[in-house]
Amino acid sequence: MSESQTMPETSEKGLTAAEVAALTESGQVNAVKSSTSRSFADIVRANVFTLFNGIIFAAMVMVLVTGSWRDAVFGLVILINTGIGIITELKAKRTLDKLSILVASDYLVRRDGKDVEVPHNEIVLGDLMWIRSGEQVPADAQIVRTWGLELDESMLTGESRTVRKNEGDDIYSGSTAVSGMALVKVNAVGAHSYAATLTAQAKVYKKTVSDLNKGINTILKFMTFLVVPLCVLLIWSQVHAVGGWDVAVSTGQWRSSVVSAVAGVVGMIPEGLVLLTSLNFALAAIRLARKNTLVQELESVETLARVDCLNLDKTGTVTDGGIMLNEIRMLDGVGANTVDEHAVKQALYDLSNEGQPNGTGLAILNGLGKQGFSAGPVAARVPFSSARKWSSIADDGAVWTMGAPEVVLSHLDGDYADVLRLVNDSAHDGNRVLLIARHDGKAPADYESDPAIDPASRPVALVLCSEHIRDDAEATLAWFREQGVRCRIISGDNPVTVGAIARKVRLTGDAEPRFMDARKLPADITELAKVLENVDVLGRVLPDQKKAIVQALHLGDHVVAMTGDGVNDALAIKEADLGIAMGNAAPATKAVAQVVLVDSKFSHLPDVVARGRQVMANMERVAS
């Protein structure tokens, strides 16, 4: 369907139909195979080919060779033990696959001088494509022309602030347009895109290490060396007792000798302990599933009990990714101190009420809307521009301006050092700060055609917004502190902002959280391990650094759990002893995590850890 009439005018023609056909034929299309969880074959293989099953199967075959079918019933323990693992993990896989089903979106591309909609996987290398507000970027591209495009790249970088893009800038698949639009040229598709390259490193399956199963396997290995010669000796002694092999074979008594020898040997194998371990893990997984927590590998239940170090991704874990309006702070005594607070709030609502407001604008509209404010009359408007970094409206009595404090104040007459100090203090507390200025009187005739801030304007208020912290974050972190689990927040965002959020959720209790810019971290893993002992919050962390942080903590013999939701978290989640993904996480991230919090509630983590500890306590009592 053509939508060229709704799009900005452009002289770009795009690819021709022949070029598209040739690129499609050569495989330069935006199709990539992405598995959302372990395959059926992987699950079956992991549960069937175990040392325990091998020993029991060999013993069962020996009995079956004698023709004594009834005496081979003990082999059913293989089916029970294997069945428990396969069924439980398949249920988790089915649920996870349902979570990862995405709505197949169509995208507007320019071909033969016309705008046409094509499915995600029919975009080809070199396509000219429109990216519109609300759409996810389907392939890596370079901006040809932009009309105020602003992207949320938190899934790729962990940086929660939206990013304004200019002509010539690169954009990556997986980011989302939150405002504006752009015409872009696709320069990487399918498996060659940034997100696909990043997640490819996380696709190799890594088995969860269970100390309990490792201990049982150690016993089984010892039993294997003991059982084989013992079994031979038992058969030889039985045959010798009846008069030798000639007599045993001629009378058929060799069969009873083999059955007796296998019976003696099988009794030495801790079948009950193996079966009980599987049952305990399965029951824990079922109970956790009732609380919207998926366990993809049964052995990870045990890892839950041993975690002593929890790395938290800020966006999506401690915060929910949304922005909220915190406060409108009137600047009484600075300039126009007679301005009514209600008038300021009404002007702020109208300033934010643009055609396509960004995340901050939506937060202001939502916050003031709850206070009963709605759109008022606006005589003229200068919309927000990333180049200007401010917006403005005019009503009957005044011109109001809202924007970045440093930019707005630089246009005004007078010394506002006190206001700037207040802005910096508020930013240090983790706020996004905007400034509102007012100029009494009507707007000039060229107000909309040649926008400028009147130097006679006076600052009247600061608008403080911040990321929305999950309601359950503080209580959950307090529980982990009580349990002796060291929590760290690791984020791609500004370390000062992340440190302020850590302070609000009392990450370190009454102590001040220690934060650091990850760009100053040492590259050497041993040095990194020493630095991490004295750091609670890390900002500006790259995906490879998250992985290195987990490796460094392993050097200190820590059992590390890592939470996250973005593609940038996938490598660290895979490297951790226990990877925990949010239900709204990227499919690749959920695929490598051992535990998935289906409803993305951080508050489920104490239940998860407590359940793991309960299972381990029961198992240790029984094993003893």
Q: Six-digit token pair at 260?
A: 């007796």
We find that the CATH architecture of domain 287-320+471-623 is 3-Layer(aba) Sandwich (3.40)
Q: What is the pLDDT of residues 375-432, one digit of tens each?
A: 988 989 988 876 678 899 998 789 999 998 988 999 999 888 889 889 888 887 778 8
**pLDDT at residue 101, rounded to an integer:** 42
We find that the CATH architecture of domain 322-469 is 3-Layer(aba) Sandwich (3.40)
Sheet holding 390-394, edge to edge: 319-330, 458-469, 432-440, 398-403, 390-394, 380-385
**pLDDT at residue 207, rounded to an integer:** 56
List the one residue out of 204, 202, 200, 186 whose CA is nearest residue 121.
186
Strands (E) in 229-269, as ranges, are none
pTM score above 0.85: no
User: How far apart (Å, rounded) are the C-alpha atoms in residues 410 and 166?
Assistant: 24
* Residue 562 DSSP SS3: strand
List the one residue out of 231, 284, 275 whose CA is nearest residue 257.
231
Q: Is 454 assigned a catalytic role?
A: no
Q: Six-digit token pair at 522?
A: 């040492």
Enter the DSSP assignment of 34: -
Q: What is the pLDDT of residues 520-529, one digit of tens each?
A: 999 999 999 9
Examine the pLDDT at 530 and tell me if it is beyond 90: yes
Examine the pLDDT at 199 and tell me if it is beyond 70: no
| Phi, psi angle pair for 506, to nearest 5° | 55, 50
> Average pLDDT for residues 488-509, to the nearest whole number?
88
Q: Say if CB 40 and CB 90 are below 8 A apart.
A: yes
**pLDDT at residue 34, rounded to an integer:** 56
User: How far apart (Å, rounded) are the C-alpha atoms in residues 557 and 559?
Assistant: 7
Lowest mean pLDDT among 3-17, 167-181, 186-200, 224-238: 3-17
Q: Say if CB 29 and CB 119 are below 8 A apart.
A: no
Query: Domain spans of the chain?
Result: 4-32+108-199, 40-99+208-277, 287-320+471-623, 322-469
**pLDDT at residue 103, rounded to an integer:** 44
User: How far apart (Å, rounded) are the C-alpha atoms in residues 537 and 533?
Assistant: 11
User: How far apart (Å, rounded) are the C-alpha atoms in residues 584 and 576?
Assistant: 20
User: How far apart (Å, rounded) are the C-alpha atoms in residues 295 and 37?
Assistant: 12
Give CA separation, 421 vs 365, 436, 499, 568, in Å: 27, 16, 19, 35
Cβ neighbours of residue 138 under 8 Å, at least 6 residues apart?
30, 105, 107, 120, 123, 129, 173
User: How far apart (Å, rounded) are the C-alpha atoms in residues 592 and 37?
Assistant: 7
Place of tokens 């995405």: 102
**pLDDT at residue 3, rounded to an integer:** 41
Examine the pLDDT at 100 and tell me if it is beyond 60: no
- Region label for 518, one of left (φ > 0), alpha (ψ between -120 and 50) or beta (otherwise): alpha
* Residue 150 DSSP SS3: strand
Measure CA of the first residue to CA of the last residue in the chain; give whole Å: 70
Given the residues 71, 140, 152, 313, select the one marked as catalytic.
313
Place of tokens 């970045």: 404
Residue 22's pLDDT band, with cuts at 50, 70 and 90, is very high
**pLDDT at residue 108, rounded to an integer:** 92
Amino acid at the residue 427: A
**From the candidate CATH numbers 3.30.70.920, 2.70.150.10, 1.10.260.40, 1.10.1740.10, the one assigned to the domain spanning 4-32+108-199:** 2.70.150.10
